[in-house]
Amino acid sequence: MKITERQEKILNTIVQEYIISAQPVSSQLLEKRHNFGICPATIRIEMQRLTDGDFIFQPHTSAGRVPTDKGYRFFVDNLLEKGVSEFEDVFEIEDIFHGAKKDIFKLASRLTKFLAEESSNFTILNLLERDFFWKEGWEEILREPEFEEKDLIPNFTELLESFEENIENLKINSGIKIYIGKENPFSKTKDFSIISSKCYLPDDETAVLALLGPKRMDYDRNISLINYLVRALENF
């Protein structure tokens, strides 16, 4: 199904609203908060078409809509095509770099912690040649409402273990690589997304930066964060 410009606008709005609220998005909410220039009945019709096209789904009969993996993928591809936001908190990044004084282990530790705090997602930094991993973000990730479902914690732990064990097979290059839900090449990981990129630390140390979290993560901010860090490391 090729969606129209109007359907694209509605879909992107549904994804953004769901990322913020973690609640199914209703046609009434869209009508109240956004001006699409169409009547409420047309909004409902367009939402039904997006549902039929598997971009959104209705978790319960009386509920609003939630993005599917296909809906998230459309949103992310659209974001990458049009350009993500620029990360603005430059001063804190500079403090991290200057404080590390080209100590790779200190720099890796500070970068991992910074990325976990800024993204509210679990962060992994892997020095490929040394096979060292830094991990931060349990406190941040467990605050997310998705983890009220007890099954998600062991599944997320399995995702982390599988990601670490298979990181070299994922062929992560300097560009952003994003897995959404069922796109993840591991079992029991349909509820999560991964954003990753290769980067270069001082002395040409090759590393992989990755954010792992619920599919409802803030893709715009997270892609912006990783892009900025990769560029900043090139000039460090």
Angle at 214 between CA 86 and CA 26, to 5 degrees: 90
Range scoring the smallest mean pLDDT among 62-66, 74-78, 95-99, 177-181: 95-99
Tokens of residue 194, six digits: 């991964």
What confidence tens digit (pLDDT) does each residue in 3-31 have?
Answer: 999 999 999 999 999 999 999 999 999 99
What's the CA gap between 191 and 214, in Å, rounded?
Answer: 6
Q: CB of 59 within 8 A of CB of 26?
A: no
What domains can you pick out in the chain, each with its CATH number? Answer: 5-82 (1.10.10.10), 90-234 (3.30.450.40)
In this prediction, residue 61 carries a pLDDT of 76
What's the CA gap between 207 and 132, in Å, rounded?
Answer: 9
Q: How does the average pLDDT of the chain come out, rounded?
A: 90
Please give the average per-residue pLDDT across 186-205, as a whole number.
Answer: 90
What's the CA gap between 109 and 96, in Å, rounded?
Answer: 10
Please give the average per-residue pLDDT across 186-197, as a whole number.
Answer: 90
The H helix count followed by the E strand count for the chain is: 9, 7
On the question of pLDDT at 91 being above 70, the answer is no
On the question of pLDDT at 63 being above 90, the answer is no
Helix (H) or strand (E) holding 157: helix 152-166
Whether the model clears a pTM of 0.85, i.e. scores above it, the answer is: yes
On the question of pLDDT at 89 being above 80, the answer is no
In this prediction, residue 24 carries a pLDDT of 95
On the question of pLDDT at 44 being above 90, the answer is yes
Tokens of residue 110, six digits: 């500070």
Determine what percent of the chain is predicted with pLDDT higher than 90. 67
In this prediction, residue 90 carries a pLDDT of 62
Please give the average per-residue pLDDT across 46-70, as a whole number.
Answer: 93
On the question of pLDDT at 170 being above 90, the answer is no
In this prediction, residue 15 carries a pLDDT of 97
